[in-house]
């Protein structure tokens, strides 16, 4: 998909903070993080949502999300992690290329905060990105 921003990010056409990459996936830092360390798992293959992608690609994306969640607990000392995946405008999907949100959560967030943009500097994001990248097994 030549006009898809996440295709360009996933396939390295546009450089971005990368937490993890393998043959089929790239994990990037969300540009408007709901919390420090908010990451997005992007398949390199285009499919606009879960319905358009084959199950192996969807399952593989969740296996990658698990690795990132484990790194977030280890590195950021997250008390919990939200793994979210929106399909369609009605479900809150704003970018039409399947992606999984991995959002570190902390006890201080309680009572459960609605997701909104956190104040995280580019420098903090770069540091977190590098620390997570190093922790992913
Ligand atoms: P959705 O609402 O579709 O589930 O989530 C889209 C997410 O992608 C949002 O959290 C938004 O901040 C993030 N996002 C949108 N455009 C970009 C971009 O160009 N770069 C990065 N890193 N994140 C983006
Ligand atoms: Zn795409």
| Contact status, residue 66 vs residue 74, Cβ threshold 8 Å | no
CA of 33 to the centre of ligand 1 (A): 9
How many CA atoms lie within 13 Å of 91's alpha carbon, on the beta-carbon side?
11
CATH code 1.20.120.530 for 5-135: no
Q: What angle do CA 62, 73, 24 make, to 5 degrees?
A: 30
pLDDT tens column, 78-108: 999 999 999 999 999 999 999 999 999 999 8
pLDDT tens column, 13-69: 999 999 999 999 999 999 999 999 999 999 999 999 999 999 999 999 999 999 999
Separation of first and last alpha carbons in the chain: 31
* pLDDT confidence of residue 137: 74
Which residue of 32, 39, 86 sits with most ligand 1 atoms within 8 Å of its CB, as the best mutation to test the pocket? 32
* Ligand 1 site, CB within 6 A: 5, 9, 16, 28-32, 40, 86, 92-95
């Amino acid at each position: 998909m030549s006009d898809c921003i996440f295709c360009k990010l996933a396939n390295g056409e546009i450089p971005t903070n990368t937490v993890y990459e393998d043959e089929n996936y790239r994990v990037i830092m969300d540009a408007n993080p709901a919390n420090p360390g908010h990451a997005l798992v992007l398949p390199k293959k285009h499919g606009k949502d879960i319905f358009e992608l084959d199950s192996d690609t969807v399952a593989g994306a969740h296996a990658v999300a698990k690795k990132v969640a484990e790194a977030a607990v280890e590195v950021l000392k997250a008390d919990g992690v939200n793994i979210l995946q929106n399909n369609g405008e009605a479900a809150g999907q704003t970018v039409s290329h399947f992606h999984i949100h991995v959002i570190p959560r902390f006890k201080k967030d309680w009572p459960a905060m609605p997701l909104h943009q956190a104040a995280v500097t580019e420098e903090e994001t770069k540091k977190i990105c590098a620390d997570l990248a190093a922790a992913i097994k």
